[in-house]
Amino acid sequence: MAAPLIAVALGLAAYLWDPVPLQILRNAVFDQFQRWHPRTYQAAPVRIIDIDEESLRRLGQWPWPRTRLAELLGKLQDARAAAIAFDVLFAEPDRTSPGPMLDLWQAPASVRRQVERLPDHDDVLARAVARGGVVLGFAVERSGSPAVLPVLKARYAVIGEAAQPFVHAFATAIAALPKLQAAAAGNGTMTFIPDTDGVIRKVPLLVREGETLLPSLVAEALRVAQGARNYTVRTVPDKGVGLAEVRIGSLLVPTTAQGEVLINYTAPVPGRYIPAWKVFDNEVPAEQLAGKILLVGTSAQGLMDLHFSPMGGVIPGVEGHAQMLEQLLTGGGLKRPSWAGAIEALVIVAAGLLVGAFALSTGALRSALVLASLLALLWAGAWQALVLGGLRLDPLIPSLVLIASYGSSTLVRHLSSERRQRWIKQAFSRYVSPNLVSYLIDHPGSLELGGRRQQCSFVFTDLAGFTGLMEHLDPGDAVSLLNDYLDQMIAIAFSHEGTLDRIVGDAVAILFSAPVAQADHQRRALSCALDMDRFARRHQRELETKGVAFGNTRIGVHSGEVIVGNFGGTTIFDYRALGDPVNTASRLEGANKHLGTRVCVSEATLSACPDWPARPIGRIVLKGKSQPLAAFQPLDPAQGDVRDGEYQDAFDLLCAENPDALGAFEALAGARPEDPLVLFHLERLRTGKTGVLISMAEK
C-alpha cells in the first residue's frame, strides 16, 4: 500500500503548492469548458463606446483633444446614461491645450494674449465630468515608489476580518489629473490581474495600495450607476480564509478569497459595441444610451489595449470590464466556492487511495475499469457543476493524482508479479525443464492437448545395480546418493539445452529439439551423452574410494521422427515424445549391458555427426524389433585422435565373414584384455557366430 500512499501524498503536496505548470494545465481545462459552454448573452444595460479604427480614421489620431472627449461625454450625459466609465488614463495634461501649444509657437504677443484667453482643455473636460455620473480610471503597479493615493469617492465597511491581507497589493497608483479626479463621481482601477499564462479570467473588485482599499473601475461604475455611497465587504467567518462577498448598492457580489470575480465570457456580441464616431454624428438614438452603464474604451489594435481571453484570441480590455458588468447585472457568473479546495483535496486522497488499492489487489482490467469510472465521474461532475451551478471545480489535478496512483501501484504490482513469476519459474524448473518452462511462458497457447511431428534425438540413461545397492544402505543415504547423481546428470542435460522427458527411478530420459526445434539436435544429444559418461565414471571412482560400490551408467542415443506435445487429459498435462525412436533409444541403453559398452549410439544420430569418432558395433536387432539397426560406440574426441584403426580392421573382417576375423579379435583381446566390445565379438566368434548381425533376446 506504500505506492498509492506515496503517490497521493506527493499529489496532495503538489496540489497545495500549486506550481505554475499545474496552474496552466488547470486553467486550460477551465478555458475549454468555457469554450464548450459560454455564458448565454442576455440584454444588459451595458454598452461600449468604442474608439475603434473607423473613429480614429474619421476624427483623427489618438490622443484626441480633451475638448473632443468633453464633447463625447456631453452627448452621453445628454442621453441620460446611468454611468459613464472611462477605460482611459488621463494622467498627463492635454498637450493640445492653448498654453502648451503657445510654448511651441513663436507667435507675437497680441496673438499670445488672445490664445491665453482660450479655455484649457483639461478644464473643459473637468467641467464636463463634474456634470455627474462619470467614473475615471487609474492604473496600479506592483513596483515603484508610493505616490499620492487616487481620490476615493466611497468608503469600505468591513464585516469580519480586515480585507487588506487578502486582496492584491500594489506599490503605487497612476491616477488622472487631480482636477479631473476631484470632478469625477468615481475613480477605479482599470488594471487586470492576468493568470500566469497571460489570460484574463478574473477582475478584482478591490485592491490595495499600502493599507488603503481601492475600488475597481467595474465596482465604481456599478456604485455610481446606483447612486450608492459606500461598499460593504464581508469576509468568510472562518479566520484566515479571505473575502466572501462585496455589496455594491443593492447588488451582492460573491467573490474569491482575494476579492475577485471570475468572468464567464460570452461569444462575441456585435451589439455590445457602439462606435464613437456614430455618437459624434448623432447616429445613436438616445434610448440606446439612456439608463445604461457606458464604458469608453478602444478596440483599435494600434492603441495596444488588447488582452488574451479564455475563449481564444484577444479582446479589448474594455470588453473585459463590460462582460464583467453584464454578468453581475444579469447573473450567469462563475464561482469558485471556498469549500472547493477541501472537496478536491478529499477527492485526491480518497479516490487516489481507492484506485491504488484496486490496482494492487485486483486484475489489470478491473482496476483499469475502476480508474476509468472514477475519471469519468470526476470530469462529468466538474462539467455538471459548471453547467448547472456555474461552479469551477478542478477535475484535472485529482485526475493526475489518480493516474499517478494507478500507474505507481500497477508498476509495483507488475514488479511483484515479475518476482513471483521468476520464483515460480525457478521452482517450476525443478520439476520441468527450464527450456520447456520458458517456452510455455512465451507460448501459452501451446498448453493444449495434442502434438506435432518433429525430428528429435533422445538420450536414455540407467544406473546398473542401484536396486541391489539400496538393500545394503540406509534409505536416507540411498536417496541422498541418488539425488546427487541425478542432479548432476540432469544439470549436464540442461547445459546442452535438453528437455527432461522423465525420471524413472535411477533412469533418466532426455529429449532434444523439442519444444524448440534445434537444427543440431543429434550433435547435442551425442555431446550430452559423452559428458554424462565422463561424469558417471568420475563419480563412480570417487564413491568407490569412499567404499560405496556405485554401478555403471549405461547410455543409449537415437534420433528419429516422433509426435511431441501434451498428453494426458484436461486435468493434467504430460509433455513428452511418443514414437518408435523413443523405445529404440531405450533399447540401445539396455543393449550396453550385453555389449559391454557404456554408450551406444545409432547410425541415425551418428550420421549427422560425420566427424565424430566411433567404433562400429554391428547391426543389432533389438528386443521386440524385426529390423536390424546399425549401432556404434562413440569415442571421446576430447582425448585427441582416438580413431581405433586396429579395431576397424578386425571389424571389417567380421563384416566380410572372413575366417581371419577370429585371429584378429584374439590378437586385439590379448593386447586389450579389458576392452569389453572386443571381448564381446571374440566370444561370438568362438561360439561359431559370424557376421555383424546381432539379435538381442533381452532388453
Task: Enumerate the domain spans of the chain.
Answer: 2-13+338-428, 42-330, 433-612, 614-699
How confident is the model at residue 158, as a pLDDT?
A: 94
How confident is the model at residue 183, as a pLDDT?
A: 96
| Beta-bridge partner residues of 554 | 462
How confident is the model at residue 22, as a pLDDT?
A: 86
How confident is the model at residue 416, as a pLDDT?
A: 73
How confident is the model at residue 473, as a pLDDT?
A: 74
| Nearby residues of 284 by Cβ (< 8 Å), 6 or more positions away | 79, 274, 278
How confident is the model at residue 641, as a pLDDT?
A: 57
| Beta-bridge partner residues of 560 | 456
Taking alpha carbons only, the member of 415, 439, 411 closest to residue 425 is 439
CA 297 – CA 317 distance, rounded (Å): 8
How confident is the model at residue 526, as a pLDDT?
A: 96
Phi-psi region of 266 (alpha: psi -120 to 50; beta: other; left: phi over 0): beta
Cα-based angle 560, 536, 611 (whole degrees, multiple of 5): 45
How confident is the model at residue 440, as a pLDDT?
A: 58
How confident is the model at residue 365, as a pLDDT?
A: 83
Mind listing the pLDDT tens digit for each residue in 199-221? 999 999 999 998 999 999 999 99
Q: Could you tell me whether strands 293-297 and 306-308 are parallel, antiparallel, or unpaired per DSSP bridges? A: unpaired
Is the bond leading into 337 cis (omega within 30 degrees of zero)?
no
| HEC letters along 391-425 | ECCCCHHHHHHHHHHHHHHHHHHHHHHHHHHHHHH
Taking alpha carbons only, the member of 442, 359, 437, 444 closest to residue 402 is 359
The amino acid present at 389, given as its one-letter code, is G
Q: Which residues of the chain have pLDDT under 70?
A: 1, 102-107, 109-116, 417-418, 420-450, 471, 568-574, 640-642, 698-699
The continuous run of DSSP H or E covering 427 comes out as: helix 396-428
Phi-psi region of 492 (alpha: psi -120 to 50; beta: other; left: phi over 0): alpha
Superfamily of structural domain 433-612: Nucleotide cyclase, GGDEF domain (3.30.70.1230)
Report DSSP state, residue 216. B
Cα distances (Å, whole numbers) of residue 548 to 63, 463, 474, 477, 540: 117, 14, 12, 11, 9
Mind listing the pLDDT tens digit for each residue in 309-336? 998 888 999 999 999 999 999 988 888 8
